[in-house]
Copies of this chain bind each other. A is one copy, B any other.
């Protein structure tokens, strides 16, 4: 920066003002041009560590994604964040809650902000922090259930994991809400734990279709079904949620719903940066119809 200042015959302060479009400064266009060119020719890159020291935080945003189902939704949400943050000159780091050194790295970075997605979802004021993702979720679950209803199913179960994860519990609630809105009987929970008795029991209870919280849970249902000689969609229709890449590899290939999480990512980024959310309107959820439902 000193070199740029010298090369353009101004002081370091002026260089900083020009390069950061500092508001409240009135610098003639000629000077700005000179500084810009010099910076360009010298290949000047701001030293982000020095900047972070000065500003008290780096220009990096961290997304805590530990415990979230990995798949199309998450990567797409990330892609959306990435676009907007990248455009604003911010960096994005995704943490899957791996281990000590990962935590160490995150704290060492002094991020400008950290988006703790699971926590945000559990909290009361989602929309401010996730671009409306969670709040729109019931609508997406409607898409999932409507697919089943359109195929004549009314007695549906919801495939849930064995442990209790707050995030997935929330999702389960959304499925129930969606079912209510469609006037369906309350969906029975179908715990996916490898026990073949579970789906058999559901079948006996009159269930004809399963809406899974995630694709991997749907795959789990498909697996135990196959183990007991039953098959989808004949004996039990199964629909996933997320469109993981490997859902397509299964036989029967998994029918699932895919949503435009990218738009939510963009919105999240924009509200975080204090920008107007703008035109990023999420596309409606889509059923990816394959074989299982």
A110 to B82, CA, bound (A): 20
Interface residues in A66-122 (C-beta closer than 8 Å to B): 78-79, 81-83, 85-87, 89-94, 98-110
A107 and B48 contact, Cβ closer than 8 Å, known pairs A86-B100, A216-B246: yes
User: Main SS of chain A's interface residues?
Assistant: helix
Chain B residues with CB below 8 A from A223, complex form: 249-251, 253
Q: Give A27 Cβ to nearest chain B Cβ, in Å.
A: 26
What are the interface flags for A30-62 relative to B under an 8 Å C-beta threshold, 1 for contact and 0 otherwise?
A: 000000000000000000111011000011100
Q: Is A287 an interface residue (CB 8 A)?
A: no
> Is the pair B101, A82 in contact by a Cβ cutoff of 8 Å?
yes
Q: Is A239 an interface residue (CB 8 A)?
A: no
Q: Is A199 an interface residue (CB 8 A)?
A: no
A99 to B250, CA, bound (A): 29
Q: Give A114 Cβ to nearest chain B Cβ, in Å.
A: 13
Number of copies: 2
Q: Is A227 an interface residue (CB 8 A)?
A: yes
Q: Is A219 an interface residue (CB 8 A)?
A: yes
Q: Is A226 an interface residue (CB 8 A)?
A: yes
A101 to B216, CA, bound (A): 29
Q: Give A215 Cβ to nearest chain B Cβ, in Å.
A: 9
We find that the number of chain A residues with CB closer than 8 angstroms to chain B is 49
A180 to B87, CA, bound (A): 52
> Is the pair A108, B251 in contact by a Cβ cutoff of 8 Å?
no
Q: Is A220 an interface residue (CB 8 A)?
A: yes
A78 to B105, CA, bound (A): 14
A79 and B98 contact, Cβ closer than 8 Å, known pairs A49-B53, A109-B109, A219-B249: yes
Chain B residues with CB below 8 A from A226, complex form: 251
Interface residues in A115-165 (C-beta closer than 8 Å to B): none
Q: Give A109 Cβ to nearest chain B Cβ, in Å.
A: 7
A246 and B227 contact, Cβ closer than 8 Å, known pairs A50-B53, A99-B83, A101-B92: no
Can you name 17 extra interface pairs (CB under 8 A) apart from A81-B101, A92-B102, A222-B251?
A48-B110, A49-B53, A49-B108, A49-B110, A60-B108, A78-B98, A82-B100, A86-B99, A89-B104, A90-B101, A91-B107, A92-B104, A216-B245, A219-B246, A244-B246, A249-B250, A250-B250
Listed by A's residue number, 27 A-B pairs whose Cβ atoms lie within 8 Å are A48-B109, A49-B53, A49-B108, A52-B108, A53-B53, A58-B108, A58-B109, A79-B98, A81-B101, A82-B101, A86-B99, A86-B101, A86-B104, A91-B101, A91-B102, A91-B104, A91-B105, A91-B109, A92-B104, A92-B105, A93-B93, A94-B102, A216-B245, A220-B249, A227-B251, A244-B246, A250-B250
